[in-house]
């Protein structure tokens, strides 16, 4: 496909703040294309299509258990938890494709895998295992979306837009979560007999497969890897290839501390939100009321992400914001414990909404911060590691919570679960104290690459002298 046209803004390189490096020609310009919003929109559609593959089953766990006469554990694994396991091997393949062949190739691959999964699931009316097959394919497609928001920002958006564009893309992932709580209600009667439920599920899955095909066509037609002219010095700078990015990241203690700490903080918070109905059941709080709370909590999460992005955009104080989120998240977990103890769904609901608004910004801010710390490592490699830590820890902690509540499904068990999650939050916050706020990408753009090269890194020098730019798949 041809390169996008109709640039809207040109930034002249003569501005000292826009100098790239010593080899940059004085006449070089950085261009912002209107098409960047088309790329963002198409990516959001594809990402939410993949997310809907999993969230659509969230309100149906017990319904599927009864309709297919299988255990709740097997339903959870087939519909949700298997994606956490497939994510790890799939992540490295996805990052290689994205970093080597570009955003277009990565987004199309992820969308095709998702659609294959959608079509596999339509055979599940009489055999529940087809859902597992479909979810595995969709799970292999997930890393192509989770690892990419910060790369889209760097490749398509200007330096002053990145702190807004990355949170916008990440926050948009909540659309799938919202739709997943609403759509099944219009297709499936949870009180119907098993045969009827299975037939209604087939109709829902068949429709989603058709929507998947249409979305895939849009992605193939409109998605592009990069603009004809880069939007910023960082976008124009060559990046390490995948192998070099991986090796360099594994040696970058500063970035790894950030990735591990913030991903575990969010994973532990996700475990609490994901298992909250089980946790508060022994505390005599109605599970249906909790379901309504979680639906509204998604909106508060989006609101919190917007506020966090605005604060970051104005201050650029990554460490201060991340640490503040960590402290407030811990405080709100303790508040949630006391709120749950009251036995009031209203009191707990208020605590959950505030908690969700506080924790959600940490995802996009962490991804953007990690790219700043690790530059010139490829963006998707960095984001992929964040989600690997997140998925693995969320899986193990969720299993731990299930085991505790199965062993002690009482008020005492609920308290133990809260103490476990709070304890993990405390431990995960410790590495935040040792992260050095070294914004390499920002320094590169302000100092024309001198800040990066001044570190005496031979590999950085080689990067500028002999590394080809990312391949643009047309």
Q: Given this model, what pLDDT does residue 288 score?
A: 65
Specify the domain boundaries for CATH 1.20.1250.20 within the chain.
1-237, 244-438
Element (H, E) at 11: strand 7-12
Cis peptide before 376 (omega within 30 of 0): yes
Q: What are the pLDDT digits (tens) for 345-399?
A: 888 889 999 999 999 999 999 999 999 999 989 888 888 889 888 888 888 888 7
Longest CA span, the chain: 73
CB atoms within 10 A of CB 322: 25
Which phi and psi angles does 216 have, rounded to 5°? Answer: -60, -40
Q: How far apart are CA 405 and CA 413, in angstroms?
A: 6
Domain 1-237 has CATH 1.20.200.10: no
End-to-end CA distance of the chain: 5
pLDDT of residue 136: 95
Other CB atoms within 10 Å distance of the CB of residue 204: 19
State how far the Cα of 203 lies from the Cα of 188, in Å rounded to an integer: 9
CA 370 – CA 375 distance, rounded (Å): 8
pLDDT per residue as tens digits for the range 79-113:
887 887 888 889 989 989 998 899 999 999 999 99
Predicted pLDDT at 287: 61
Instruction: For the chain, list residues with pLDDT below 70.
Output: 1-28, 286-288, 291, 448-474
Q: Rounded to an integer, what distance in angstroms lies between the CA atom of residue 421 and that of residue 425? A: 6
Residue 314 CA to residue 317 CA, distance in Å, equals 9
Among 270, 265, 259, 262, which Cα is nearest to 385's? 259
CB-facing half-sphere around the CA of 320: CA atoms within 13 A: 6
CATH code 1.20.1250.20 for 244-438: yes
What does the alpha-carbon distance between residue 431 and residue 262 come to, in Å, rounded to a whole number? Answer: 9
Per DSSP, helices labelled H in 173-317 are: 174-182, 194-222, 233-236, 242-251, 253-274, 276-280, 287-315
Residue 399: how many CB atoms within 10 A of its CB? 14
Q: How far apart are CA 384 and CA 375, in angstroms?
A: 15
Output phi, psi for 319, to 5 deg. -60, -45
For residues 293 and 352, give the distance between their C-alpha atoms in angstroms, rounded to a whole number: 8
Beta carbons of 141 and 264 less than 8 angstroms apart: no
Residue 269: name the closest of 331, 211, 320, 223 by CA. 331
Entry pTM: 0.78
pLDDT value of position 253:
93
For tokens 């360099």, the residue is 248
Closest CA to 163 of 372, 324, 327, 16: 372
Q: How far apart are CA 237 and CA 252, in angstroms?
A: 20
Residue range 6-53, pLDDT digits in tens: 555 444 433 333 333 333 343 457 889 999 999 999 999 999 999 999
Q: What is the pLDDT of residue 252?
A: 93
What pLDDT, on the 0 to 100 scale, is given for residue 117?
96
DSSP code at position 336: H
Q: What is the pLDDT of residue 473?
A: 36
Q: List the one residue out of 156, 204, 276 whose CA is nearest residue 60.
A: 204
| DSSP letter, residue 455 | T
């Amino acid at each position: 496909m041809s390169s996008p046209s109709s640039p809207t803004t040109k930034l002249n390189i003569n501005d000292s703040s826009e100098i790239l490096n010593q080899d940059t020609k004085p006449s070089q310009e950085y261009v912002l294309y209107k098409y960047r919003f088309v790329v963002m929109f198409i990516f959001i559609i594809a990402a939410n299509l993949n997310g809907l593959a999993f969230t659509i089953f969230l309100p149906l766990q017990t319904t599927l258990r009864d309709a297919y006469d299988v255990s709740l554990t097997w339903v959870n694994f087939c519909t949700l938890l298997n994606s956490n396991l497939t994510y790890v091997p799939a992540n490295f393949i996805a990052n290689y494709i994205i970093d080597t062949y570009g955003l277009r190739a990565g987004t199309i691959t992820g969308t095709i895998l998702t659609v294959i999964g959608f079509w596999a699931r339509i055979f599940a009316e009489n055999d529940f295992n087809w859902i597992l097959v479909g979810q595995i394919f969709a799970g292999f497609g997930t890393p192509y979306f989770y690892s990419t928001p910060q790369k889209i920002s760097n490749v398509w958006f200007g330096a002053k837009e990145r702190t807004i564009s990355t949170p916008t893309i990440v926050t948009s992932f909540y659309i799938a979560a919202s739709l997943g709580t609403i759509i099944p209600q219009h297709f499936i009667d949870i009180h119907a007999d098993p045969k009827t439920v299975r037939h209604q599920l087939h109709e829902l899955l068949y429709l989603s497969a058709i929507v998947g095909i249409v979305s895939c066509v849009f992605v193939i037609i409109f998605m592009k890897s990069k603009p004809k002219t880069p939007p910023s010095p960082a976008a124009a700078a060559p990046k390490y290839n995948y192998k070099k990015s991986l090796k360099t990241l594994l040696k970058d203690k500063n970035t790894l501390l950030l990735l591990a700490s913030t991903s575990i903080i969010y994973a532990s918070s996700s475990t609490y939100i994901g298992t909250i109905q089980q946790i508060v059941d022994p505390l005599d709080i109605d599970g249906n009321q909790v379901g309504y709370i979680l639906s509204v909590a998604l909106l508060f999460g989006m609101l919190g992400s917007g506020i966090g992005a605005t604060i970051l955009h104005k201050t650029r104080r990554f460490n201060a914001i991340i640490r503040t989120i960590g402290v407030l998240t811990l405080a709100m977990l303790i508040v949630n414990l006391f709120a749950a103890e009251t036995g009031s769904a209203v009191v707990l609901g208020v605590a959950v909404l505030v908690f969700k608004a506080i924790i959600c910004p940490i995802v996009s801010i962490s991804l953007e911060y990690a790219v700043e710390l690790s530059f010139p490592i490829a963006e998707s490699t960095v984001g992929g590691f964040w989600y690997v830590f997140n998925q693995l820890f969320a899986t193990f902690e969720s299993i731990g919570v299930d085991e505790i509540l199965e062993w002690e499904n009482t008020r005492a068990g609920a308290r133990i679960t809260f103490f476990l999650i709070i304890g993990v939050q405390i431990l995960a916050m410790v590495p935040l104290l040792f992260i050095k706020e070294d914004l390499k990408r920002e320094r590169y753009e302000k100092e024309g690459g001198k800040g990066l090269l001044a570190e005496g890194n031979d590999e950085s020098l080689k990067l500028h002298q002999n590394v080809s730019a990312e391949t643009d798949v047309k």
